[in-house]
Amino acid sequence: MNDVHAVKPGDPPPRAGKAPGKTRDRALRFDNLGNGDATMEARAGLRRTLNLIEQQKIRIGTCAWSFDEWSGAFYPGDWPSNRWLEFYARFFPAVEIDSTFYSAPSEATARRWVEMTPPHFRFTCKLPREITHQRRLRDCRTELSAFLRALEPLAPKLRVVLIQLPPSYAPKEEKTAFRDFVAQLPADFRFAIEFRHPGWHRPHFIRLFEKHRLCWVWSDMSPLNERNLAPFEFQPITTDFLYLRLLGDALTKYDGAGQRIHRYGKLLWKREAALDSWALRIQRHLAEIRSVWTFANNHYEGFSPETCQRLARRLGFDLPLPAGEKASSPNERGQLDLFAETPPSA
């Protein structure tokens, strides 16, 4: 299982990688598949079939697992909500925990998450908004240490801590505080950082990521009216893993009165070109990275489990979803077969 290379809390940091000059060139190389290139290449049948080792590098899951709309659509209607994670883990190899954005989990909650998921299952989680949005990474050493201590029960299955920054977080005002913050991050956790302000797309910030072994998050927040286009973004590769978030259009969440517009229990729209593009980007970089973490949000296509399935098919493997009588006892494991024999320490 290839994510053994991702540092777990309590493990020593891995040895240094390539020589500085070579890794700098690697970090500064951007992925710039444009609107036409990815779609034309994919639909021309040029997408290759991944071998087993390449498939084992990829984990696909959803952003969170607790949605009332999924009851009856993904979870059996009579399945209790406090066991949704247990059911989810029968079909997906990983999940991005969203609740940690609001508060750290209690020790009992974190232990329960570990106990109710199989040995091969993996978590990533968000850094709390108190640190990212309220303190804006300033004067937060105590809060950061407390949060990371709260994650200790998750250590056997935790792989990445996601630092999601607000759109207003701009380098002109924040670059000094940002440099100070990343310099204090402990080496026994792996961190992925998502910027939502374009001002950070500069070579010196990319080199800073490489220096501290931070992952530059690839995120797709393209507008719904551009869903038939492949995302055109410059996406740097700054460390030994990729972290992709398929988030979708924030305008599809709420109306002007703050009320939710949609119920996310089925596929509402399709982003064919975008998924083609992202699958190709993942394939193109598998040889140079150790793991890929991909998480889909309901807002991307309306129903994130099906988005995950659609991306997996483009990558050449099955990701079966529950249906009817198979829901409570799935026989086809799909991507989970790749990790079923993984020892618990991986």
Residue 35: closest CA among 235, 311, 270, 233: 233
116-136: pLDDT as tens digits: 999 999 999 999 999 999 999
- Give a yes or no: residue 246 inside a domain: yes
Higher-confidence residue of 136 and 229: namely 136
- Give a yes or no: residue 258 inside a domain: no
Q: What is the C-alpha separation between 9 and 189, in angstroms, rounded? A: 5
At residue 40, the pLDDT reads 43
- Give a yes or no: residue 318 inside a domain: yes
- Give a yes or no: residue 262 inside a domain: no
Q: Give the end-to-end CA distance of the chain in Å, rounded to a whole number.
A: 7
- Give a yes or no: residue 342 inside a domain: no
153-198: pLDDT as tens digits: 999 999 999 999 999 999 999 999 999 999 999 999 999 999 999 9
| pLDDT of 341 strictly over 70 | no
Q: Which residues are within 8 A (CB) of 110 and not within 5 positions of it... i.e. 6 or more apart?
A: 150, 151, 152, 153, 154
At residue 154, the pLDDT reads 97
- Give a yes or no: residue 316 inside a domain: yes
| pLDDT of 249 strictly over 90 | no
Give the count of domains, the chain: 1
Chain-centre distance of CA 318, in angstroms? 19
- Give a yes or no: residue 120 inside a domain: yes
Mean pLDDT of all residues in the chain? 84
Q: What is the C-alpha separation between 225 and 85, in angstroms, rounded? A: 33
- Residue 6 sits in a domain whose CATH number is 3.20.20.410
Token output for 132: 């990212």
Residue 108: closest CA among 170, 66, 152: 152
| pLDDT of 4 strictly over 80 | no
Strands 30-31 and 235-236: antiparallel
- Give a yes or no: residue 298 inside a domain: yes
Number of helices (H) and strands (E) in the chain: give both, helices first: 12, 11
Q: Which residues are within 8 A (CB) of 329 and not within 5 positions of it... i.e. 6 or more apart?
A: none
Range of the domain at 204: 2-252+267-322
At residue 325, the pLDDT reads 37
At residue 225, the pLDDT reads 84
Containing H/E element for 143? helix 141-150
Q: Which residues are within 8 A (CB) of 140 and not within 5 positions of it... i.e. 6 or more apart?
A: 130, 131, 181
20-68: pLDDT as tens digits: 444 434 444 445 444 444 444 444 444 567 777 888 899 999 999 999 9
At residue 259, the pLDDT reads 74
